[in-house]
Amino acid sequence: MSVEARRYAVFGHPIAHSLSPEIHSAFAKQLGIALDYRVIDAAPVVFEAEVRRFFAEGGHGANVTMPHKLVALAMADEVTEAAKRAGAANTLTHLGNGRIEAHNTDGSGFVRDITERHGFDLRGHDALLLGAGGAAKAVAWALMDAGVKTLTIVNRTPERADELADAIGEPARCHTRYWDGLDGECFDLVVNATSIGFDGGKFDLPMSIVQDHSTAYDICYGTAAAGFKGWAVAAGVRPDWFRDGLGMLIEQAADGFERWHGQRPDTDPVYRELRQRF
């Protein structure tokens, strides 16, 4: 007797480029789980209604990507600590009777990738975070939890960086700077969590903020990470100490997958496969 596949989906707009169906299908195949994972392109005006319809028609879980992560949080009945801290949700679970739980796996996925895959022990290091959007918030909290010595946050709109640092509430370890006020500082780790690379924008940062022992990590991947990599290598980061967000993407997916299916997939084969393309 065949097992009926449980239904999942990723919602975004646009969404055609999403790797989530491929990643979740690979995890499911590895663990022998029957999976029906769809791509749903929902414009902002219909997003909430589409999610509710999907769950009403038997959907179990949904991944959410731009531009819906804030509404995904707002529409939920239950919100995990990780989603609260990020102020955004990338994983929705149907709890039954139309009730929805919002969760965020970006922070845990980032830390798992940088520590376990790339062997960077975050403890005791000085980190600089570029950005204060949803992904940056998740990464900021995760960096703090992972034990960085200091976390400096800069953002184009400085008030958003200040709000994030205030929410973290550890001024001795976590503080903000103006984007153009970084001269004279040097960091072990610089994380780009902005979407500058998508617009082909330039990284206007002093080269002195990194040395050849520094690691640079762009949470974007593919061509969107090229601009930050170019800046980092020109500033003195060793090319093989630059990391992109492909591994984070796979780890955050694995965290959501484990939440839904109760089993943790082996992410390495999926990473190796996708690395050949990005």
How many residues touch ligand NAP (CB under 6 A)? 27
| Amino acid making up residue 193 | A
Site for ligand NAP contains 155 (CB under 6 A): yes
Q: DSSP assignment, residue 3?
A: P
The neighbouring-strand residues paired with 151 are 127, 174
Among 196, 205, 225, 274, indicate the residue that binds ligand NAP (CB under 6 A): 196
Spell out, one character per residue from 57 to 76, where the chain touches ligand NAP: x when CB under 6 A holds, - when not: ---------x--x-------
Site for ligand NAP contains 199 (CB under 6 A): yes
Site for ligand NAP contains 248 (CB under 6 A): yes
Among 135, 143, 205, 210, indicate the residue that binds ligand NAP (CB under 6 A): 135
Using the contact rule CB under 6 A, the part of the chain among 17-25, 96-104, 152-160, 263-271 near ligand NAP is 152-160
Report which of 238, 232, 174, 240 is spatially closest to residue 206, judged by C-alpha positions. 232
Buried b / exposed e over 27-66, threshold 16 CB at 10 Å, is bbeeeebebebeebebeeeebbebbeebbeeebbbbbbbb
For ligand NAP, the closer of residues 149 and 246 by Cβ is 246
Return the residue matching tokens 């204060």: 132
84 alpha carbon, distance to own chain's centre: 15
Residues that bind ligand NAP (CB under 6 A): 66, 69, 106, 109, 131-136, 155-157, 160, 193-196, 198-199, 201, 219-220, 245, 248-249, 252
